Chains A and B, each alone.
Chain A
Amino acid sequence: METAEAGAQAQDAMMQEVEVHLRIKRFDPDVDKRPHWEEYFVKLKPSDTVLTALHTVKWTIDGTLSFRRSCAHGVCGSDAMMINGVNRLGCVNLISDVGTSLVIEPVRGLPVIKDLVVDMEPFFAQYRSVMPYLINADDPGYTERRQSPEDRARFDDTTKCILCGACSTSCPVYWANDQYVGPAAIVNAHRFIFDSRDQARAERLEIMNQKSGVWRCRTAFNCTDACPRGIKVTEAIEEVKRAILYDRS
């Protein structure tokens, strides 16, 4: 019972409204020459998300604030942003996690279009460049291909990617070098390179071996820290590097 009471008290605390101070980097191409900061104060529960904080600003204070969002629970990948200096999804970080003083900026490394909305086209072009689809010329007939649970597990981690861009836009190399395909594209190459059903391993490894590929990675681990899906991004990049060096068949 004691733990139940303590739990109830903790839950009560999560329901008490607190004042949240947001500093948001704003930019409207129709009127602004350069970005500027705006401040807002909103009342929220500690269990509310950063996305709820942004919605509260947009819906009750300033409707001109623009940010992408859709599912609001971390599976669609729309709302990657920089929260207090690190890349996070707004919808999976609670006020109780990030605090009541928030600095919110668009992610880096992609052109800002308006407020928190960045141009995702370069990101998706990098994704497309790694041939992100299963290639297998054999006719499997009218039944499924077999794949052992062990083979299936080999690439499970990188199937979780939601293409939010948090990893790539946290990477110092990606910020500085617009040739680098970035961690997200490598994650999606990894997903096929290590799929036992795929037959284009050599081609993908060749793409990864180019100067835009894995060798740009300086193992800063920012990507792994930023990934909202918990993918071991740096490890995936290292696995691709090792495959290029030792296992290109």
Chain B
Amino acid sequence: MVRENPCKTGAVNIHYHSYDAVIVGAGGAGMRAAIETAGKMRTAVITKLYPTRSHTGAAQGGMCAALSNVEEDYWEWHAFDTVKGSDYLGDQDAIDVMCREAIDAVVDLEHFGLPFSRTPDGKIDQRRFGGHTRNHGEAPVRRACYAADRTGHMILQTLYQRCVASGVNFFNEFQVFDVLFEGEGEDRRAAGVVAYEMATGDLHVFASKGVLFATGGFGRIFQISSNAHTLTGDGPALLFARGIPLEDMEFYQFHPTGIYGIGILLTEGARGEGGILRNGLGERFMERVAPTVKDLAPRDMVSRAIHAEIREGRGAGPNKDYVYLDLTHLPPEQIDAKLPDISGFVRTYLGLEPKTDPIPIQPTAHYAMGGIPTNVNGEVVIDSAGTVLPGLYAAGECACVSVHGANRLGTNSLLDINVFGRRGGRRMAEYVAGVDHPSVGKEAAGDVRDRIEQIKASNGKEKVAALRAELQQAMMRDASVVRTAESLENASRVLAELRERYRDISIDDKGSVFNFDLTEAIELGSLLDLAGTLLAGAMARNESRGAHWRDDYPVRDDANWMKHTLAYREPDGTVRLEYKPVVGGRYQPMERKY
């Protein structure tokens, strides 16, 4: 790494770097974007982890594309399923792009070296997945390309391998805390980021013509979560703080099959392989809810069905608060070949044998459909008219294109990162070729430096871990699978109190080297802000659509609510909501039956 004249201001060294393109985050979306810009322009990839630690690696089941390798399939069928799965909130122009380019995206990955599971004749094998059907809902279709139950791991490793081959310039364990702009009004454009170097505590100003955010999700706002500890929504939160809106934040997906009590993901691929959900009475309850596709209904419906079984007293266990994922009828060799990793999780964390024991599961916070608003080229759009903020891009879970609408189908996240990571990287490369370097200097790190010094100097009485736990509990209880006006008001009251107490935090570690006490404190601020946008959107939306279920408004209301939410931060810290229309297309809204 080149260190360019560190200057001492106060206690903190500030370094300066100049790049054409900066990518924040090195999961699937960030690295896929980097592959498009590396070698063509000066590119820096900044990640708070090492790239291979990113949570893309935890994705298990597959990545859908209508390859037709094992049965008849068309990308239009995939698009229909995605639109229907989104409960008609997904933008159909973007969904068409994703499903059409899915085929290229899978072939690209194979050419990069991804070790897909294969058919007997050597083609990429495909399996069933929730919500993916043949001919507009007739029956489940084999569309998910996979590598055992570690597809995300293979994608992450393969993209990293390709980045190593291309000589991508990584800044590992650098955490971005601010985004820089220059110009005012219509002339405003992205100008770089400010990053904190974990190993030294130094700050780095990266001046850059283009900035692409690919920071992943924020599942740590909930208590039971499949998400890594580090998924704290840093990118959306810092853009929100600088006036960029966030889209559809009330739509948060709970995956039906998290390991009971700890939330670790057990892939939908387990049901794709034939696994069955059973309640405490042993009943296959999904037969009642989705007679055609049964256990392979979309995640929002399955999670709600589990919630209903538990609420109506048909749960299992001493507190009747979980149901079972039953794989015991599957051939043991199929479990070994197709589901080895999740079998290991069950043995490790529950001490159970999935070949003979039903597995206790509960819905687990999994995926943010909402995020930084973008168009199909990854350009960040800042209003309901689709106005682009030049030089600013986002891709992957932190972004909202919107291809997932109110509910994402399984496998479409791995697809999203590959399709829109590539498109965002390409568009940034085109933009960067035609603009001047921004003129930001080291002084741009001032706000971040002041915030860090203030947190370190504080003698406040509140502790970060305690506040975070209270936030996670309140969000889980009042704003997860099922919501009401009352529950959301409860959560909002708790959040307001926590925000007040957050102003009075202090940390133990005042040092400069690997101070995770400090970074966790700043991450908690992000979680609190994002929880605020989620609650504001959810309270306003008096309907039930996809993952947003209101017991007090249990029907979808297309007349009033076929629109995307945009949440803006007001100067006083409150959230202002605007709305923008959904982009329609071939498929008209229908009742969502499976």
Q: Which residues of A contact B (CB under 8 A)?
A: 8, 10, 14, 28-31, 47, 58-60, 62-64, 66-78, 92, 94, 113-115, 117, 120, 124, 127-128, 131-134, 140, 142-149, 151-152, 155-156, 159-163, 192, 195, 197-198, 230
Q: A76-B58, A134-B113 are in contact. List 11 more A-B contacts (CB 8 A).
A: A30-B512, A58-B465, A58-B516, A58-B517, A63-B464, A71-B53, A74-B344, A78-B53, A133-B113, A147-B118, A159-B154
Contact with A along B146-187 (1 / 0, CB 8 A): 011010011001000110110000001000000000000000
Complex alpha-carbon distance, A92 and B349, angstroms: 8
Select from chain B the residue with minimum beta-carbon distance to A28. B511
* Contact status of A120 and B118, CB under 8 A, knowing A73-B264, A145-B111: no
Which residues on the B side are within 8 Å of A128 (C-beta)? Answer: 164
Complex alpha-carbon distance, A149 and B338, angstroms: 13
* Contact status of A155 and B115, CB under 8 A, knowing A92-B348, A144-B110: yes
> Are A71 and B55 interface neighbours, CB within 8 A?
yes
Select from chain B the residue with minimum beta-carbon distance to A93. B348
Which residues on the A side are within 8 Å of B517 (C-beta)? Answer: 58, 63-64
State the total of A-B contacts with C-beta under 8 angstroms: 159
Select from chain A the residue with minimum beta-carbon distance to B113. A134
B152 to chain A, nearest CB (A): 8
Complex alpha-carbon distance, A160 and B55, angstroms: 15
Complex alpha-carbon distance, A159 and B148, angstroms: 11
> Which stretch, B121-129, B393-401, B551-559, touches the partner chain A?
B121-129
Complex alpha-carbon distance, A74 and B147, angstroms: 18
> Are B107 and A76 interface neighbours, CB within 8 A?
no
> Are B107 and A143 interface neighbours, CB within 8 A?
yes
Contact with A along B325-359 (1 / 0, CB 8 A): 00000000000000001001100110100000000
B507 adjacent to chain A (CB < 8 Å)? yes
Which residues on the A side are within 8 Å of B230 (C-beta)? Answer: 70
> Are A75 and B115 interface neighbours, CB within 8 A?
no
Q: Which residues of B contact A (CB under 8 A)?
A: 49-50, 52-55, 57-58, 104, 106-107, 110-113, 115-124, 147-148, 150, 153-154, 157, 161-162, 164-165, 172, 199, 228-230, 264, 318, 341, 344-345, 348-349, 351, 463-466, 507-509, 511-517
> Are A144 and B107 interface neighbours, CB within 8 A?
yes
What are 17 residue pairs bridging A and B, where the CB atoms are less than 8 Å apart in the complex? A63-B464, A63-B509, A66-B514, A70-B228, A71-B58, A134-B161, A140-B110, A144-B124, A146-B123, A149-B118, A149-B120, A152-B117, A159-B147, A162-B52, A162-B57, A162-B153, A192-B113
> Are B115 and A124 interface neighbours, CB within 8 A?
no
> Are A113 and B513 interface neighbours, CB within 8 A?
yes
B505 to chain A, nearest CB (A): 11
> Are B120 and A72 interface neighbours, CB within 8 A?
no
A102 to chain B, nearest CB (A): 18
B584 to chain A, nearest CB (A): 31
A209 to chain B, nearest CB (A): 22
* Contact status of A70 and B53, CB under 8 A, knowing A47-B349, A195-B115: yes
> Are B55 and A142 interface neighbours, CB within 8 A?
no
> Are B118 and A152 interface neighbours, CB within 8 A?
yes
B524 to chain A, nearest CB (A): 12
**Complex partner residue of B111 from A63, A72, A140, CB under 8 angstroms:** A140
> Are B348 and A74 interface neighbours, CB within 8 A?
yes
Which residues on the B side are within 8 Å of A230 (C-beta)? Answer: 344
* Contact status of A76 and B508, CB under 8 A, knowing A66-B515, A148-B122: no
Complex alpha-carbon distance, A163 and B153, angstroms: 11
Which residues on the A side are within 8 Å of B55 (C-beta)? Answer: 70-71, 76
Complex alpha-carbon distance, A149 and B465, angstroms: 48
> Are B124 and A69 interface neighbours, CB within 8 A?
no
* Contact status of A60 and B465, CB under 8 A, knowing A66-B515, A78-B49, A113-B513: yes
Select from chain B the residue with minimum beta-carbon distance to A163. B52
Select from chain A the residue with minimum beta-carbon distance to B150. A160
B486 to chain A, nearest CB (A): 31
The 4 closest A-B pairs by CB, nearest first: A134-B113, A63-B508, A59-B465, A146-B122
* Contact status of A146 and B121, CB under 8 A, knowing A76-B55, A78-B53, A197-B113: yes
Which residues on the A side are within 8 Å of B124 (C-beta)? Answer: 144
**Complex partner residue of A148 from B118, B153, B507, B515, CB under 8 angstroms:** B118
Select from chain B the residue with minimum beta-carbon distance to A230. B344
B366 to chain A, nearest CB (A): 13
> Are A29 and B113 interface neighbours, CB within 8 A?
no
* Contact status of A30 and B511, CB under 8 A, knowing A120-B50, A149-B120, A162-B57: yes
Which residues on the A side are within 8 Å of B112 (C-beta)? Answer: 133-134
Complex alpha-carbon distance, A220 and B52, angstroms: 27
Complex alpha-carbon distance, A92 and B117, angstroms: 26
A249 to chain B, nearest CB (A): 21
B258 to chain A, nearest CB (A): 11
Which residues on the B side are within 8 Å of A155 (C-beta)? Answer: 115
> Are A73 and B123 interface neighbours, CB within 8 A?
no
**Complex partner residue of B351 from A14, A66, A73, A160, CB under 8 angstroms:** A14
B84 to chain A, nearest CB (A): 28
> Are B53 and A77 interface neighbours, CB within 8 A?
yes
Which residues on the A side are within 8 Å of B147 (C-beta)? Answer: 159
Complex alpha-carbon distance, A8 and B116, angstroms: 40
**Complex partner residue of B345 from A66, A73, A77, CB under 8 angstroms:** A73
Which residues on the B side are within 8 Å of A120 (C-beta)? Answer: 50, 172
> Are B113 and A195 interface neighbours, CB within 8 A?
yes
Select from chain B the residue with minimum beta-carbon distance to A148. B122
Complex alpha-carbon distance, A174 and B309, angstroms: 54
A141 to chain B, nearest CB (A): 9
> Are B110 and A145 interface neighbours, CB within 8 A?
yes
Which residues on the A side are within 8 Å of B58 (C-beta)? Answer: 71, 73, 75-76
Complex alpha-carbon distance, A31 and B513, angstroms: 11
Which residues on the A side are within 8 Å of B120 (C-beta)? Answer: 148-149
> Are B228 and A76 interface neighbours, CB within 8 A?
yes
> Are B514 and A117 interface neighbours, CB within 8 A?
yes
B510 to chain A, nearest CB (A): 8
**Complex partner residue of A152 from B115, B228, B509, CB under 8 angstroms:** B115
**Complex partner residue of B516 from A60, A66, A161, CB under 8 angstroms:** A66
Most B-side CB within 10 Å, residue of A70, A134, A147: A70
Complex alpha-carbon distance, A152 and B337, angstroms: 13
Most A-side CB within 10 Å, residue of B116, B120, B508: B508
* Contact status of A30 and B513, CB under 8 A, knowing A60-B465, A70-B228, A133-B162: yes
